[in-house]
Copies of this chain bind each other. A is one copy, B any other.
Amino acid sequence: MSLQHAILGFLSWKPLTGYELKKMFADSVTVYWSGNNNQIYRTLLDIHKKGFVTKEVQHQDDAPSRKIYTITEAGLEELRSWVLSPPEVPQLKHTFLIQLSWADQLSDDELDHLISSYEDEVHVHLLMLRKQAEVKTMSPERTQRERYLWDMIMQNWIVMYETELQWVRQLRHGLGDTTPERKHNDGH
């Protein structure tokens, strides 16, 4: 699991409440995590029990009390050793490709429509990423090296979806080319 470590990462910048963490995940494109509370609150309890954070309760009369979590030395150590742990290749859950695997049962028009709507999805997603990249939301940017890392991380997401868009366009055009041939060869 690395939600734990992403939370420790944010807390290494400054102390935060669960609610604030939830927002940071929701706002961040690169440190993506569905931004759902259940997991965040449970993970906070967990890392508190492990001693990676301390909890300070701030009572408020007219609202539920804020619980501010601060990272400890042990937490910083845990974060550091996780960052150094052997990196793994990204795992992509590419359901569209599985849909495509059995798409030969569709008519030419149905298939073209399916691919086109996927192309639109990817395109919209890419535009959203590019807009986010301009805004340059958070990240402390304390050193030039850190700024460079965060830029490259954002860049990674963008080039991935650019590549996907190129691929799907090639797919669609290639299909347009093979379809008449197919009719020639398979027709009779």
- Which A residues lie at the B interface, using CB under 8 A? 2, 5-6, 9, 12, 30-31, 79-80, 82-106, 110, 114, 117-118, 121-122, 125, 139, 142-146, 148-150, 152-153, 155-156, 159-161, 163-164, 167, 170-171, 174-175, 178-179, 181-182, 185-186
Contact = CB atoms under 8 A, between A and B. Distances in A.
Contacts of A105: 12, 79-80, 83
Nearest to A166: B159
- A85, A99, A148 interface centre (most CB from chain B within 10 Å): A99
A99 B87 CA distance: 8
A104 B13 CA distance: 12
Given A174-B148, A178-B144, A88 B95 contact: yes
A40 to B, nearest CB: 15
